[in-house]
Amino acid sequence: MRLFIQRVLSASISVDDKEVAAIGPGLLALVGFGPADGPDLPASPAFAGMARKLSGLRVFPPAGEAEGKFTCDVQEYGGDLLLAPQFTLYADCRRGRRPSFSAAAPPDVARNLFMMFANLVDENTSCRVESGVFGADMRVRLCNWGPVTILLDSEELFS
């Protein structure tokens, strides 16, 4: 499982020119699942661990303090979370010019994992949590703040 996280001033997701999710200041997380992520992933320590890492990253300044300080997490800051399913986080670009996505989890497995992850994050944070639409052709708009961009990989963090 991989999370590509960006601190944002705002972010939104549209499908067919209709906005389906939007947040103000907070975190946009692109969420991808790989070949090792199967139906048993939600029972693993990595699944809950990634949810805790996402909501617990201290990448926000305290209210009224210098913007360069990273002392608050998204909940302490009062921000929102926007989760977007993103199979391309498992792109393999080693050969040729067209990426291979064979390392991404199959869509039926990834869809269930994404929905379970979004529910877990929502249940375990005080933040408002919004989600994109799995399998849709989404338009993601964001105003990156910083920029602050962090990649979390469950295999590196929880193996």
Q: Catalytic site residues?
A: 86-88
Q: Which residue type sits at 152?
A: L
User: 155: part of which helix (H) or strand (E)?
Assistant: helix 154-158
The first and second tokens of residue 86, run together, are 């993103």
| d(C-alpha 37, C-alpha 71), whole Å | 32
Q: Determine how many CB atoms are found less than 10 A away from the CB of residue 144.
A: 14
